[in-house]
Amino acid sequence: DIQMTQSPSSLSASVGDRVTITCRASQSISSYLNWYQQKPGKAPKLLIYAASSLQSGVPSRFSGSGSGTDFTLTINSLQPEDFATYYCQQSYIYPRTFGQGTKLEIK
């Protein structure tokens, strides 16, 4: 299986901040990388697919980049509703593994 490792596991930030979350794959996955947001008690929501494509309806303050093994999710100008847990997922080969998650908390 491909291992997906996110860093940090948690971080604190303030409204208006810019934050970056990193995801590293244990082998090259080209650009087959997705990002999801999950709020407490809710199902995950797709934010970014194919490493950098914004899912329809997702605010433009979210962006993704990277290819190969290293990827980033950036959130510009954090809003109160952005405080949640974020997961990366590789869609290169089966099983389509997720990272362990990054919890974004309010400072």
Partner 1 sequence: EVQLVQSGAEVKKPGESLKISCKGSGYTFTKNWIGWVRQMPGKGLEWMGIIYPGDSDTRYSPSFQGQVTFSADKSISTAYLQWSSLKASDTAMYYCARHWDASNAFDIWGQGTMVAVSS
Give the Cα separation of 107 and 87 in Å (integer): 20
Residue 101 touches partner 1, criterion: CB under 8 A: yes
Minimum distance from residue 68 beta carbon to partner 1 (Å) = 17
- Largest pairwise CA distance in the chain: 38
If one asks whether residue 95 binds partner 1 (CB under 8 A), the answer comes out as yes
Taking alpha carbons only, the member of 36, 3, 24, 100 closest to residue 68 is 24
Told to check if 24 binds partner 1 by CB under 8 A, we report no
Lookup result for tokens 């929501």: 45
- Shortest distance in whole angstroms from residue 42 CB to partner 1: 8
26: left (phi over 0), alpha (psi -120 to 50) or beta: alpha
Look at strands 102-106 and 10-13 and give their pairing: parallel
Binding mask 31-70 for partner 1 (x = CB under 8 A): -x-x-x-x----xxxx--xx--x-x---------------
- CB closer to partner 1, 12 vs 53: 53
Q: Summarize as ranges the residues that interact with partner 1 (CB under 8 A).
A: 1, 32, 34, 36, 38, 43-46, 49-50, 53, 55, 87, 89, 91, 94-101
